[in-house]
Structure 1
């Protein structure tokens, strides 16, 4: 099933949410929603009853999903939305893919938590997607998630959540000094949390003292494998979130980091540098427990 969304209104639906809502209840086969170039200013939800969905844009520069809710935005009932209802794109479907587009939250710095993509799916794939925000840009709620050649920016905890998420050849960009890239809440017993393979980390001009991560929950797991890190990364690398006991249960790992931000000798003593043998286990099929994201 193919649906087209056009900002000009010359083809298919004028809004992405309207296109999603048009899918017949009980439809089971994959639905591709082709999104023509434009800025779509709307809050979007892909519900749990949705069939496999592919959102297909032209490219991240021309196909943009945009909204500006934050944790303090008032809902219709007069109560603040909170972090988990602030997302621009909210995904609850079992199988979801997005390609060649931008998802952004324009709430702005200093407004608190403001999610661009809230992903609480069984299996989710993002290819060549730009995720733009400040605090809490990307929420990875559950399931297995795969990000390929994506651009993700923010300042505080801008990748956070409990899912097993693999970031393959992605670009992470730090917008503010003394920030944190990840805030993992990996469940106890899960072998993998966040895994970054062959990624690149940059900072805006003058940005420094950014941490690779801090543990949102006690068993946080994050591994950076062969990642290029610029000078925005602080030597210590990892922060315990003011919870010294989490140093005993969190698993923070690196292998073959490079660039000015790679400083194994200065890293927090409770983090680890992986051996060649250990790093070899960090492959897509292993991290995602046998799942092959189609076309990876």
Structure 2
């Protein structure tokens, strides 16, 4: 399947000056991969990729990744005068399948104000399936990365936030990623929303690093059957000894699946962990420690 390549440059040296214009040029229901090569710069655009535009790649410059930035929050009014809510606050929202981003920086600059409601401010919402992100960074505060639904793969990515900064119902594999907290007090790194035991969703992190400020839980149970696994991951001292949070509902303790496998660092000390966290055996960890967790052998392509 041959690909089509177009370029975006703010100085007019490309095919388009804005990313939005490049996306608008693609005919709906395209069956060939369209690579949008984006030159360095700060693009103040709100990007939406509809389900009718699969096989889209954002390709940035490795040495100087372009930034797509916005500052919408859940409480900001949309064109219809109603609040955007979390779902529509995203700077970049992807509903299409087979989306790929390489060497990109995604940002939502709205600050999280402690004590206020509806300050969710998403940098990226990914709702299509079979999406992959390579060498990308995600900057936000509350609810940075909305890993909404579908099979997703993240490789060598940097993800920064404070409250629930990776959240959603996706089935996702994070490999060699750096998770950086900017929490001021106590917050959760993940809020995974698996809502029943038959759903295949969950977040798996492998060979990753957790650093930053504040004190964080590795996850809180947004869904009753929330599932998150950390393997071979370095955890700095910001990780609370308890490790995990049932969000005030003890009925979840027997339902969630929170696992750790061969992690390291001061935050990986298991002596203070909640009793319902799992220290995985080799056999229990095996399903979670490769891209096969997201069926990657059937759809991942080399970047």
TM-score of the pair, normalised by structure 2: 0.93
The whole-number CA distance in structure 2 between the counterparts of 1:214 and 1:87 is 22
Q: Which residue of 1 aligns with 2:212?
A: 203
2:9 touches 2:18 (CA, 8 Å); kept in 1?
Answer: yes
1:70 touches 1:81 (CA, 8 Å); kept in 2?
Answer: yes
Q: Does 1:255 align with 2:261?
A: yes
- 1:1-296 superposed matches below 5 A: 1-59=4-62, 61-110=64-113, 112-176=119-183, 177-188=185-196, 189-204=198-213, 207=214, 209-289=215-295, 290-295=297-302
2:153 touches 2:291 (CA, 8 Å); kept in 1?
Answer: no
2:173 touches 2:291 (CA, 8 Å); kept in 1?
Answer: no
The whole-number CA distance in structure 2 between the counterparts of 1:286 and 1:41 is 36
- 3-state SS in 2 of match to 1:175: strand
The whole-number CA distance in structure 1 between the counterparts of 2:222 and 2:22 is 36
Q: C-alpha deviations, 1:154-195, integer Å up to 9, x for none?
A: 011110010101000100001013010000012421345000
- The count of corresponding residues between Structure 1 and Structure 2 is 293
1:60 touches 1:130 (CA, 8 Å); kept in 2?
Answer: no
- 3-state SS in 2 of match to 1:280: helix
| Structure 1 residue 144, shift from structure 2 partner | 0.2
1:285 touches 1:292 (CA, 8 Å); kept in 2?
Answer: no
Change (3 A) 1:268 1:150: same
Q: C-alpha deviations, 1:25-49, integer Å up to 9, x for none?
A: 3432110000000000010011100
1:194 touches 1:222 (CA, 8 Å); kept in 2?
Answer: yes
- 3-state SS in 1 of match to 2:165: strand
Change (3 A) 1:190 1:291: farther
Q: C-alpha deviations, 1:204-259, integer Å up to 9, x for none?
A: 3xx2x210000111011000001100011100000111111111111000011110
1:224 touches 1:254 (CA, 8 Å); kept in 2?
Answer: yes
1:37 touches 1:58 (CA, 8 Å); kept in 2?
Answer: yes
1:90 touches 1:119 (CA, 8 Å); kept in 2?
Answer: yes
Query: Which runs of 5 or more structure 2 residues have no equivalent in the other structure?
Result: none
Query: Which runs of 5 or more structure 1 residues have no equivalent in the other structure?
Result: none
1:42 touches 1:66 (CA, 8 Å); kept in 2?
Answer: yes
Structure 1 runs (4+) greater than 6 angstroms displaced: none
Please say which of residues 60-69 and 248-257 is displaced more in the overlay.
60-69
Q: C-alpha deviations, 1:41-97, integer Å up to 9, x for none?
A: 010011100030010000374410001100011112221111000000000111100
